[in-house]
Structure 1
Amino acid sequence: MTSQTALDPAALVASLPLETKVRLLTGATAFTLAPEESIGLGEVRLSDGPTGVRGLKFSGGRTVALFPNATLLASAWSEESTTEVGRLLAEEALAQQIHVVLGPTINLHRSVLGGRLFEAYSEDPLLTGRLAAAYVRGLQDLGVGACLKHLVANESETERNTMNSVVDPATLRELYLLPFEIAVDESDPWSVMAAYNDVNGVPATEHHHVVNEVLKGEWGYTGLVMSDWFATRTAAPAAAGGLDLVMPGPDGPWGDALVAAVRSGELDESVVDDHLRRLLVLAARVGALGDLRDYPDDLPAPDSAVRREQLTRLAAAGMTVLTNADDTLPLARGTRVALVGRHALETIDMGGGSATVNPPYQVSVAEGLTALLGDAVDVVDGVEVRTRPVPARPGFVVDPDTGRPGLHLTLLAADGTVLDERHDAPSTVMVGFDDDFPQAVARVRFRARVAGEGALEVGAIGVGRWQVTAGGTELAWTLATSGTGFAEEMLAPPTRTDQVHVGSDAVVDATVVLRSSTRSVTVGDADPGTDAGAAAEPLAGVGLFGLVARPAPEAEDDVITRAAAAAAQADVAVVVVGLTEEEETESVDKSTIALPGAQDALVRAVAAAARRTVVVVNAATPVLMPWLDDVDAVLWAGLPGQEGGHAVAAALLGDQEPTGRLVTTFPAADGAAPAWSVTPVDGDLEYTEGRFVGYRGHWADRAPAPAFWLGHGLGYATWEYADATLDTDGDAPAVTVTVTNTGARTSREVVQVYLEPASSDEPVRLVGWADATVDAGASARVTVTADARMWRRWDEAAGGWSRLADGGRLLVARGLGDVRATLALPTA
């Protein structure tokens, strides 16, 4: 890539008229920024992340690699691994000529009900910030920009476009801003995304204090601040509040309104100039200004052998052994396994919303374990795990014209013109958000041949008037949004199903007529200068549409009885349970952390029948485990990406040791956590727990003891700690301890150090960690250097940082539930 050091962004800005400057500060399309030939600015291309680089299409784009989700990657507690992930994602971006990946997500796991937690690393700000900085370094070392999101206090999805996060200054500084501060300081990310929500009554997209005073002022941030998609509500207030770029485009609240604000003197043109200068700095960094960068043509394909190895290894490394009685795990080859559960056959490898990608394949646990154990595995379906219907699965449906997996999709204009026609297509399509057709899509038609015969559940996904024909049965529905908020039609569209009886080779034919309007409702339709903002009215003619077709569900009692019978015949039963994208998704929060459906009853029945029972939890966030004492081992597997089944199998058999440590504290019951509700009251979501979030609140007895603490994870070895020593000569203490692997295999240990301050008004907090890989029977001296930032406290009265009082103690631990040594800190 040609160096851009000779370019002077400020001079380039000065050469442009105001109207051109303003035009460049709103996206050109859903995921691109406009070029400007007169200054050598090329198109800048953005893509959603961070579990894959989806590209310029929200739905139906090119095939790309699907990575393990953020909580699973973070559970390795490894900056080296996170840097590797950044590099691999950069390669995925370069293969598509993408300049900026919209990630990492570094909001905290405040409440475990948050639907989007699967995208974010942890409940702890230090762990989150350090891992984020490593990810950014890996991405940007290859010339692809990162985007920290979402600034700030954006920890839940309920009413996310209108809610106001009420956070006291100390909590805001010490917890929710801290990951952004660490990442800015240690990796200089090239962009940051402002969130949808208000923060203490001020929209995040126009928050002068957070963006101008803290981010760009106090931290000296040199990069660009963009809005979340459709989040910008105003013209001059947002521009004055520090927002540099409005997304998406080409429409939005700036344009003529921002030009008028400058002409009238409401906003100084120098503010616009600074925004554009930052945009040009970003363009120069990613090779889109001046001599445009060249792109390599020899990068690994998403389904290549090298990607398969990388994604399997990264997923398995983050998996966490929660319990393991009598060394039930790893399983020995030759073991007869009853593999039970819907998640075993339909493993959930990614969450919902903007983090979804189109992978080349997704390996189920059934496929992965059978590949290693062959006929020793008896696979048995489990109970239903969803309340919403899912799109037809390619294979169960085939294109009636080609006979290949997928379906025949046709997009039509109002006059009947065929705008697009695809064979072997996925069962869902996004319409209207990022289309480039000459006319608007007015109708979508799906045609698919179904495998098998008999009772069939058939239905539709998406807003509009539906007509469905299946096996001679005609159905008609009108589906509408529930009115819960902006973008519901894209991220959580309405659904409807019925049961019909079909003969062999039946064809399902479904057509939806889209809701039409003369305009699309966006935040930009709000009056500039008002807070009318992120409209709750649905977007006209925009949404996710899909076909549902699958065998009618079986009675739960019959399913459970069959699973228990299979378990009784095996040496060990492996039950795979978990959540789906219904619970772990953008736009929707959970109301409980209980497993959906009758999964708990399934586990209990299998455990009662089996000689030994292993439970694999296929979920990114905590779930309740009322059967915990009834089973022999529990493996938390996260959302493991396209190689998920291979990674789970490798972990179960010990081919790759699951040495993960939890990044979120698991509550023992619904409500048994320091922060719980994610539902605003009169628009406000008050962070009343303050700084005592997650493990901090449990340790201070502000919530009942958890089921599992942050940092917990057993791996496949046992460990002794000895001779812990303290060095206080540096800016922050360093702890050195001897760890001895008393297990039978080489293993990796993660030594964690927590500070318990002298004052009970100050929460316990993670201050550092380090890992070591040690052979069986061997020992290693491990040094953990604490982070000096964790000795700060925000003094609201003084409006600045002060140092914690001397004293307190350091806890050397394998997670806060397993403290191995305590070291007193000196007092003055």
Structure 2
Amino acid sequence: MTQTLAEDSVENAIRSLDLTAKVRLLSGARMFSLHAEASIGLEEIVMSDGPTGVRGEAVVGGRESCLLPSASLLAQTWDRQVLEEVGGILAEEAMDQRTHIVLGPTINLHRTPLGGRLFECFSEDPYLTGALAAAYVRSLQRHGIGASPKHFLANESETQRTTVDCVADERALRELYLLPFEIVEQDARPWTVMASYNSVNGTTATEHGELIDRILKGEWGFDGLVMSDWFATKRAAESANAGLDLVMPGPETVWSTGLEKAVRSGTVKEETVDEHVRRLLRLAARLGAFAGTRTWPTAVPRPDGELRRGQLRRIAAEGMAVLKNDRGVLPLAGAGPVAVIGRHATDTVAQGGGSARVRPPHVVSIADGLASALGRENVTVVDGVETRTRLLAAPASLLRDPETGTPGIRVRALDGHDGLIESRHLDVAELEVAEDGWLATAATIELSADVALPGPARMRVGVIGPGDWTVTAPGHCESFTVTPHKGPGGGLHRPKSHAAVVALEPGARITATTGPHFEMRIIGLVLTAAPRPAAAAIREATDAAARAETAIVVVGNTQEQETEGEDKKTLALPGDQDALVAAVAAVAPRTVVVVNAATPVLMPWIDDVDAVLFAGLPGQEAGAAVAAALTGDIEPAGRLVTTFPARDGEGPAWSTEPVDGRLVYAEGTRVGYRGWHGSGTEPLFWFGHGLGYTTWDYTGAAITGTDGPTVTGVSVTLSNTGERRGKETVQVYRIPDNGETPRLIGWAQVSLGPGESGTVRVECDARTQRIWDAAGHRWLPLTGGTLAVARGLGDIRTTVPLDAAQEA
């Protein structure tokens, strides 16, 4: 269908619909779908959460999907081609699930390292974020799958996220928080954008006409659809007049109940409603869901197939960053005795918590990945200290359905007289209870399973999810209440848990019952080993480390720290992990620390260990990717996307706690490395840091192009002075001499063998070399200063004075 024909069809459709029909289309039909309208040839449109995996409509227990590395780890590749590859994987996953729109990427910034949802965002730098996101969006939409960059705007933290007023000056909004959206709009033309929960300078984001109507749609020319975040829309007329096009989810929303009344009362013009419908139908046409039938592929690569596993292993490993590597400990050489230590080695965290969570076909633990790569006979695995306080649902491998004996649990819906309404087997230990689901009419929900233990054991037995519960096991009966978190999705995201230690025999039956609870929620059974004292765990770890040639200590965060809906209070590793690392480093001949976390952590032991690999949240192939990185099978060529403080409280922005409902971005444009530079405080690791496995020499840096005071190109000669092939990320920063903050203006990558040299040409972006003049409401070019050609601002290799730009 040509564009003209499509637009004609859209206009004809709008004329054929009455006001009631038009308003109906502008709210979701269900949680993740939009209304069909047969009279105009509009088909149902299906959406899915999934910046790093297409989850589908089920929050838990749905179909298995590829679990990619988290967005922050993807960004550590600094590689647009990798992000294009990721977009292609997600598009194929979406097509296989008959899903039209993937709700991502998340392009808010890493303003403060305490942000709980940073794992889902790319970086602290707006240019890096925007450029990588544009590659992701282009690739998705090239395959006919819509992207939805989010959350528009200033949603950099989770505390009070549905009510907080984020207060930022106009310059900071333009130069930092709007810039990634501007880059994506100009370079990738996304088909949708998602408005956030929070307010910006006193106006809720879904009603922010300055941001949506004037800047996004007017100034930038965005011709797509603006949807609300789920349950974010507060008022009908105000949001409709501000430029919001679609309210999610549905079917009952403030628009379905109030928008038609607002039109009939004259508060909203019908032409405004027509424009929203126009954008909806334009989106549907792009998705193949309007005036035509979408065709879907009959086969795509399986999430657990060799093609996908190889892709995800490589992508994750390439994004991992070597932060320290004394004495060339890495890559691991030989196959001497290795002690793999830490709870994260066996309970590897592959993804963050919240709406982005997917059900992968498997997660390769770091312990299994290393044992496979190094030989099981060479690897001793030691559990380590506790890391979780909020427990997860039990793995299905530990449970058996009492009726069928197959892995999983039995779920029964009972009426008020204990009569059976329905009984189902689940192959996972958790499920979603929804208002319109099969459990909606149950007076009692019963979860039961027989434990599949190899022998008697002391285990924590309990449940996740809000409700009034009774849990029974042999010799144990306990009743208690689990409360939901406050705010939208409080029963779905970060479900709380409760468990007690029980002595169990193999085959013992666990039963948990709960009554009605008038909110969507996730519930499930908990079964995990009883905790043991940290001192005993550390003693076992040091014994193993002393006998090994290399101790690999795996530490990290869990979904308690890295999650939607909740921010961190500290960057310290949870539990006694720091004490574990220090104790192992005191006795091991060589100590390598693998950090299984998406965002900065404190490292009080950094001077005592030989090497640190920052592994991120690596997705389903986690352990295989870590093993490939540690052995050098794949070079971990990643560069950090967030500056790491050495201590809590350091850095230009820290607290995420609003005061009287307002979170003031007092640091202005001095976010991340921009604020660290010249502050007098040295971070633990700079944005852009990463050692790789070889060394580099930089010579002959020169400016190759200018447009007035704006630099358009830089070249530099690189030589690989090490003994291994490596990939280098050449970063160019512009450092003004007038008190302005430094900013990344371009980067390029090159792969060279040992002894090889090559010229690297870096294209520099004019959008990073301008200053917003708030008084004149205009952009002014950045003038003066110095160009730094660097491996991060902590490792500047050469500089070029900007007066050279005038001579180029």
TM over 0.5: yes
**Corresponding residue for residue 117 of structure 2:** 116
Question: Is 2:402 the partner of 1:403?
Answer: no
Which runs of structure 2 are paired with 1:69-80 in the superposition (5 Å)? 69-80=70-81
Kept in 2: contact 1:432–1:440 (CA 8 A): no
**Corresponding residue for residue 689 of structure 2:** 712
**Corresponding residue for residue 566 of structure 1:** 544
Give the partner amino acid of 1:388. R
Q: Residue 146 of structure 2 aligns to a residue in which SS?
A: coil
Which runs of structure 2 are paired with 1:481-520 in the superposition (5 Å)? 481=484, 484-515=486-517
The one-character-per-residue Cα deviations of 1:526-550 (angstroms, maximum 9, x if unpaired) are: xxxxxxxxxxxxxx23211121112
Question: Is 2:735 the partner of 1:756?
Answer: yes
**Corresponding residue for residue 6 of structure 1:** 5
Which ranges of structure 1 fall in alignment gaps of 5 or more residues? Answer: 516-539
**Corresponding residue for residue 762 of structure 2:** 784
Question: Is 2:425 the partner of 1:423?
Answer: yes
Shift of 1:412: 4.6
The separation in 1 between residues aligned to 2:676 and 2:187, in whole angstroms, is: 30
Kept in 2: contact 1:573–1:606 (CA 8 A): yes
Kept in 2: contact 1:322–1:714 (CA 8 A): yes
**Corresponding residue for residue 297 of structure 2:** 296
The separation in 1 between residues aligned to 2:118 and 2:26, in whole angstroms, is: 30
The separation in 2 between residues aligned to 1:81 and 1:179, in whole angstroms, is: 18
**Corresponding residue for residue 524 of structure 1:** none
Q: 1:705 to 1:412 in 2, by over 3 A?
A: farther
Question: Is 2:67 the partner of 1:66?
Answer: yes
Kept in 2: contact 1:461–1:494 (CA 8 A): yes
Per mean C-alpha deviation after superposition, the further-off stretch among 654-663 and 415-424 is 415-424
The one-character-per-residue Cα deviations of 1:201-228 (angstroms, maximum 9, x if unpaired) are: 0000010000000000000000000000
**Corresponding residue for residue 774 of structure 1:** 752
Q: 1:286 to 1:413 in 2, by over 3 A?
A: farther
**Corresponding residue for residue 533 of structure 1:** none
The separation in 2 between residues aligned to 1:36 and 1:384, in whole angstroms, is: 54
- How many residues are aligned here? 798
Q: Residue 397 of structure 2 aligns to a residue in which SS?
A: coil
Shift of 1:480: 2.0
Q: Residue 151 of structure 2 aligns to a residue in which SS?
A: strand
The separation in 2 between residues aligned to 1:400 and 1:373, in whole angstroms, is: 39
Q: Residue 749 of structure 2 aligns to a residue in which SS?
A: strand
The separation in 2 between residues aligned to 1:587 and 1:413, in whole angstroms, is: 34
Which runs of structure 2 are paired with 1:192-341 in the superposition (5 Å)? 192-341=193-342
Shift of 1:700: 2.6
**Corresponding residue for residue 159 of structure 1:** 160
Give the partner amino acid of 2:532. E
Shift of 1:420: 5.5
The separation in 2 between residues aligned to 1:313 and 1:442, in whole angstroms, is: 49
Which runs of structure 2 are paired with 1:437-456 in the superposition (5 Å)? 437=438, 439-450=440-451, 451=453, 452-456=455-459
The separation in 2 between residues aligned to 1:59 and 1:121, in whole angstroms, is: 25
Kept in 2: contact 1:4–1:284 (CA 8 A): no
Q: Residue 240 of structure 2 aligns to a residue in which SS?
A: helix
Kept in 2: contact 1:579–1:596 (CA 8 A): yes
Q: 1:478 aligns with which of 469, 476, 481?
A: 481
Aligned alpha-carbon RMSD (Å): 1.5
Kept in 2: contact 1:382–1:560 (CA 8 A): yes
Question: Is 2:395 the partner of 1:393?
Answer: yes
The separation in 2 between residues aligned to 1:487 and 1:48, in whole angstroms, is: 14
Kept in 2: contact 1:442–1:541 (CA 8 A): no
Q: 1:286 to 1:424 in 2, by over 3 A?
A: same
Question: Is 2:460 the partner of 1:460?
Answer: no
Shift of 1:417: 6.9
Shift of 1:617: 0.2
Q: 2:638 aligns with which of 639, 652, 660?
A: 660
The separation in 2 between residues aligned to 1:113 and 1:588, in whole angstroms, is: 10
Shift of 1:87: 0.7
**Corresponding residue for residue 565 of structure 2:** 587
Per mean C-alpha deviation after superposition, the further-off stretch among 676-685 and 492-501 is 492-501
Q: 1:733 aligns with which of 697, 708, 712?
A: 712
**Corresponding residue for residue 692 of structure 1:** 670
**Corresponding residue for residue 700 of structure 2:** 723
Shift of 1:489: 1.7
The one-character-per-residue Cα deviations of 1:585-625 (angstroms, maximum 9, x if unpaired) are: 00010000000000001001111111000000000000000
Q: 1:165 to 1:442 in 2, by over 3 A?
A: farther
Shift of 1:3: 6.2
Q: Residue 733 of structure 1 aligns to a residue in which SS?
A: strand
The separation in 2 between residues aligned to 1:653 and 1:18, in whole angstroms, is: 64
Which runs of structure 2 are paired with 1:43-192 in the superposition (5 Å)? 43-192=44-193
Q: 1:42 to 1:755 in 2, by over 3 A?
A: same
Kept in 1: contact 2:433–2:439 (CA 8 A): no
Shift of 1:490: 1.4
Shift of 1:749: 0.4
Kept in 2: contact 1:756–1:811 (CA 8 A): yes
Q: Residue 247 of structure 1 aligns to a residue in which SS?
A: coil
Shift of 1:486: 3.0
Give the partner amino acid of 2:703. L
Kept in 2: contact 1:413–1:439 (CA 8 A): no
Kept in 2: contact 1:409–1:425 (CA 8 A): no
The separation in 2 between residues aligned to 1:389 and 1:360, in whole angstroms, is: 21
Q: 1:637 to 1:399 in 2, by over 3 A?
A: same
**Corresponding residue for residue 814 of structure 1:** 791
Per mean C-alpha deviation after superposition, the further-off stretch among 16-25 and 383-392 is 383-392
Q: 1:812 to 1:138 in 2, by over 3 A?
A: same
The one-character-per-residue Cα deviations of 1:169-218 (angstroms, maximum 9, x if unpaired) are: 00000000000000000000000000000000000001000000000000
Q: Residue 137 of structure 1 aligns to a residue in which SS?
A: helix
Q: Residue 230 of structure 2 aligns to a residue in which SS?
A: coil
Per mean C-alpha deviation after superposition, the further-off stretch among 676-685 and 487-496 is 487-496
Kept in 1: contact 2:230–2:249 (CA 8 A): yes
**Corresponding residue for residue 359 of structure 1:** 360
Shift of 1:488: 1.8
Q: Residue 738 of structure 1 aligns to a residue in which SS?
A: strand
Give the partner amino acid of 2:558. T
Shift of 1:744: 0.9
Per mean C-alpha deviation after superposition, the further-off stretch among 418-427 and 240-249 is 418-427
The one-character-per-residue Cα deviations of 1:543-570 (angstroms, maximum 9, x if unpaired) are: 1112111221111111100010001111
Kept in 1: contact 2:49–2:55 (CA 8 A): yes
Percentage identity across paired residues of the two chains = 53
Kept in 2: contact 1:4–1:290 (CA 8 A): no
Q: 1:612 to 1:151 in 2, by over 3 A?
A: same
Shift of 1:627: 0.3
Q: Residue 28 of structure 1 aligns to a residue in which SS?
A: strand
The separation in 2 between residues aligned to 1:211 and 1:726, in whole angstroms, is: 38
**Corresponding residue for residue 532 of structure 1:** none
Shift of 1:438: 8.7
Kept in 1: contact 2:413–2:439 (CA 8 A): no
Shift of 1:256: 3.4
The separation in 2 between residues aligned to 1:317 and 1:443, in whole angstroms, is: 49
Per mean C-alpha deviation after superposition, the further-off stretch among 171-180 and 256-265 is 256-265
Which ranges of structure 2 fall in alignment gaps of 5 or more residues? Answer: none
The separation in 2 between residues aligned to 1:164 and 1:66, in whole angstroms, is: 33
Kept in 2: contact 1:23–1:255 (CA 8 A): yes
Q: Please give the TM-score of this superposition, normalised by the length of structure 2.
A: 0.97
Shift of 1:472: 2.8
Kept in 1: contact 2:669–2:741 (CA 8 A): yes
